[in-house]
């Protein structure tokens, strides 16, 4: 296979999030977040760990920017911790908290690395959870105020904004499946939460545009390529449902199409809706949510192959997910399926036509550590990334306006309910010493970025 060249201005970057890397959870006026609280629930996090220290990025951000510079990255996607910005019990701005991000942004720009700022990557202030969290519309309003504060302070220098990371995780994983903070199992609460997350996106976009003229704003969704396990009618039907639950419930309202009617009907039958039906949707909300954006961020890890199983109607979503037996898996138990990335991107382009797309996350958890010489030979991660870059290239050749690719993650970090058991980094972190060592995949990525192309031999 020949060398595959990417478009000249294609952005190559890496991604992280605040709670997963920063540590310093009690410093400089940061208030408690729902993840601080959730980590302390026995059994909630696989290894009983917390983000208290994580990668100590709060104190080591300069070193981490130098690492990115060394790797030649063009862009860095990170998130702002809401609990660092707004003080307990009110909306007084905590300037000490904002300062970290202000200095980080300056340092990135000095090193020619374009900051992509995510406003909400799951660390809700606990004080807002105590008032209902995302189930409450007021949290959406607070989020828009928070977006105002951050974009006001950073908007002169930050020109790329992502309102939310993965609303499906915030709402369904947090309020229905309960694997993420706040750990609830309540369908009506989850659907109301999803709505308020999307609504706050719609409110935040114009605020950011006002505070940060000339900037580009979008949202990052976790999306799967979904296919039926067989051509049978029952499997196709299960596939429609899973796609609605995972992808369309978020994509459709963001693109001006209302919530998908088939899913509203399914949820009504299953008893998932609040007693008043879709009563959390008020007049005008759908117009707000459908605000025009500049790009869609896609977090892609794997596909879902869906089989119909005999499950009670209120457990429809359990009609997933079988995977071809010959598949390869990462340490997370996620299937390696690069073709799905290309298929997903082509579908998004065909069905939703976002003006521009970024892969805002893609990467793999493998546990290769340093050998006797301190070398980390993570050949499987390198192959995973290469195959997904090839898939992205194929999508670009098919006309998809894909403008950049952010590898998850710059460095090993706190992987939510899996704690420190999963290493997604292209840079190894020794959690005892906080030493960072670029893995072989990082050096390979460096050469891809430098050449703007990949060789597929």
Binding segment toward ligand FCB, per CB under 6 A, in 339-347, 380-388, 408-416, 427-435: 408-416
Cα 273 from chain centroid?
26
Task: Indicate the length of the chain as a whole number.
Answer: 457
Q: Are 290 and 255 in contact (CB under 8 A)?
A: yes
Tokens 């709060």 belong to 58
**Which residue, 266 or 415, is less far from ligand FCB as judged by CB?**
415
Q: Is 166 in the site for ligand FCB (CB under 6 A)?
A: yes
Q: Is 14 in the site for ligand FCB (CB under 6 A)?
A: no
Residue 361 known to be catalytic: yes
The binder of ligand FCB chosen from 416, 428, 444, 445 (CB under 6 A): 416
Q: Is 424 in the site for ligand FCB (CB under 6 A)?
A: yes
Neighbours of 287 (CB within 10 A): 10
Closest distance between ligand FCB and the C-beta of residue 364, in Å? 9
210-229: contacts with ligand FCB (CB under 6 A): 222
Q: Is 17 in the site for ligand FCB (CB under 6 A)?
A: yes
**Which residue, 129 or 299, is less far from ligand FCB as judged by CB?**
299
Closest distance between ligand FCB and the C-beta of residue 165, in Å? 5
- Least Cα distance to 288 among 167, 203, 353 occurs for 203
CA distances (Å), origin 88, targets 29, 32, 118, 127:
9, 9, 22, 7
Tokens 């869609």 belong to 296
- Least Cα distance to 355 among 392, 398, 402 occurs for 402
In the set 22, 317, 361, 415, the catalytic residue is 361
Q: Are 166 and 222 in contact (CB under 8 A)?
A: yes
Closest distance between ligand FCB and the C-beta of residue 425, in Å? 11
**Which residue, 165 or 176, is less far from ligand FCB as judged by CB?**
165
Q: Are 250 and 168 in contact (CB under 8 A)?
A: yes
φ, ψ for residue 361, nearest 5 deg: -155, 135
Neighbours of 425 (CB within 10 A): 29
Answer whether the bond into residue 182 is a cis peptide, omega within 30°. yes
The binder of ligand FCB chosen from 35, 408, 444, 445 (CB under 6 A): 408
The C-alpha torsion from 69 through 75 and 80 to 85, rounded to 10°, is 70
**Which residue, 224 or 394, is less far from ligand FCB as judged by CB?**
224
Q: Is 361 in the site for ligand FCB (CB under 6 A)?
A: yes
Residue 166 known to be catalytic: yes
Q: Is 18 in the site for ligand FCB (CB under 6 A)?
A: no
Give me the 87-116 binding string for ligand FCB, x by CB under 6 A, dash otherwise. Answer: ------------------------------
**Which residue, 389 or 416, is less far from ligand FCB as judged by CB?**
416
Q: Is 415 in the site for ligand FCB (CB under 6 A)?
A: yes
In the set 107, 166, 317, 415, the catalytic residue is 166
- Least Cα distance to 143 among 122, 171, 173, 120 occurs for 120
Closest distance between ligand FCB and the C-beta of residue 194, in Å? 15
48-67: contacts with ligand FCB (CB under 6 A): none
Q: Are 152 and 215 in contact (CB under 8 A)?
A: no
Tokens 């006309």 belong to 399
Buried b (16+ CB within 10 A) or exposed e, 322-357: ebeeeeeebbbeebbbbebbbbbbbbbbeebebebb
**Which residue, 56 or 123, is less far from ligand FCB as judged by CB?**
123
Closest distance between ligand FCB and the C-beta of residue 98, in Å? 22
DSSP assignment of 260-292:
-HHHHHHHHHHT-S-TTSSTT--TTHHHHHT--
Buried b (16+ CB within 10 A) or exposed e, 87-106: beeeeebbeebbebbeebbe
**Which residue, 222 or 308, is less far from ligand FCB as judged by CB?**
222
Q: Is 165 in the site for ligand FCB (CB under 6 A)?
A: yes
Q: Is 171 in the site for ligand FCB (CB under 6 A)?
A: no
How, if at all, do strands 75-79 and 160-165 pair?
A: unpaired
**Which residue, 17 or 211, is less far from ligand FCB as judged by CB?**
17
Binding segment toward ligand FCB, per CB under 6 A, in 48-56, 88-96, 163-171, 311-319: 163-171
Binding segment toward ligand FCB, per CB under 6 A, in 96-104, 162-170, 174-182, 437-445: 162-170
The binder of ligand FCB chosen from 299, 316, 343, 441 (CB under 6 A): 299
Sites of contact with ligand FCB (CB under 6 A) = 17, 20, 165-166, 169, 222, 299, 361, 408, 415-416, 424
Residues forming the active site: 166, 361
């Amino acid at each position: 296979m020949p060398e595959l060249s990417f478009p000249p201005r294609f952005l190559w970057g890496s991604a992280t999030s605040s709670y997963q890397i920063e540590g310093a959870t009690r410093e400089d006026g940061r208030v408690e977040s729902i993840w601080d609280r959730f980590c302390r629930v026995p059994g909630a996090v696989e290894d009983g760990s917390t983000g208290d220290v994580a990668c100590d990025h709060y104190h080591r951000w300069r070193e981490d920017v130098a690492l990115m510079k060394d790797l030649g990255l063009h862009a860095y996607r990170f998130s702002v911790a809401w609990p660092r910005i707004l003080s307990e019990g009110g909306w007084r701005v905590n300037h000490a908290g904002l300062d970290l991000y202000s200095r980080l942004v300056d340092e990135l720009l000095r090193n020619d690395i374009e900051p992509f700022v995510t406003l909400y990557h799951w660390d809700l202030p606990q004080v807002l959870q105590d008032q209902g969290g995302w189930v409450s519309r007021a949290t959406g309003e607070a989020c828009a105020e928070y977006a105002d504060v951050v974009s006001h302070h950073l908007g002169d220098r930050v020109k790329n904004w992502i309102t939310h990371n993965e609303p499906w995780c915030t709402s369904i994983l947090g309020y229905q499946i309960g694997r993420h903070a706040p750990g609830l199992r309540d369908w009506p609460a989850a659907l109301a939460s999803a709505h308020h997350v999307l609504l706050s996106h719609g409110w935040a976009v114009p605020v950011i545009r006002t505070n940060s003229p000339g900037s580009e704003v979008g949202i990052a969704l976790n999306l799967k390529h979904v296919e039926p396990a067989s051509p049978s009618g029952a499997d196709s039907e299960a596939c429609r449902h899973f796609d609605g639950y995972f992808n369309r419930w978020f994509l459709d309202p963001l693109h001006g199409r209302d919530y998908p009617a088939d899913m509203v009907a399914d949820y009504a039958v299953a008893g998932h809706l609040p007693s008043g039906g879709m009563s959390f949707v008020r007049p005008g909300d759908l117009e707000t949510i459908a605000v025009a954006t500049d790009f869609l961020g896609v977090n892609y890890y794997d596909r879902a192959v869906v089989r119909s199983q005999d499950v009670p109607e209120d457990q429809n979503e359990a009609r997933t997910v079988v995977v071809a037996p010959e598949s390869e898996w990462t340490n997370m138990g996620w299937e390696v399926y690069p073709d799905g990335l290309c298929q997903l991107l082509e579908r998004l382009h065909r069905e939703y036509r976002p003006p521009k797309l970024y892969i805002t996350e893609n990467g793999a958890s493998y546990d290769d550590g340093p050998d006797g010489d301190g070398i980390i030979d993570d050949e499987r991660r390198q192959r995973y990334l290469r195959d997904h870059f090839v898939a992205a290239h194929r999508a670009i050749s098919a006309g998809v306006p894909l403008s950049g690719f952010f590898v998850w993650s710059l460095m090993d970090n706190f992987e939510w309910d899996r704690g420190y058991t999963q290493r997604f980094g292209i840079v190894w972190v020794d959690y005892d010493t906080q030493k960072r060592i670029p893995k072989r995949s990082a050096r390979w990525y460096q050469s891809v970025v430098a050449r703007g192309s990949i060789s597929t031999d």
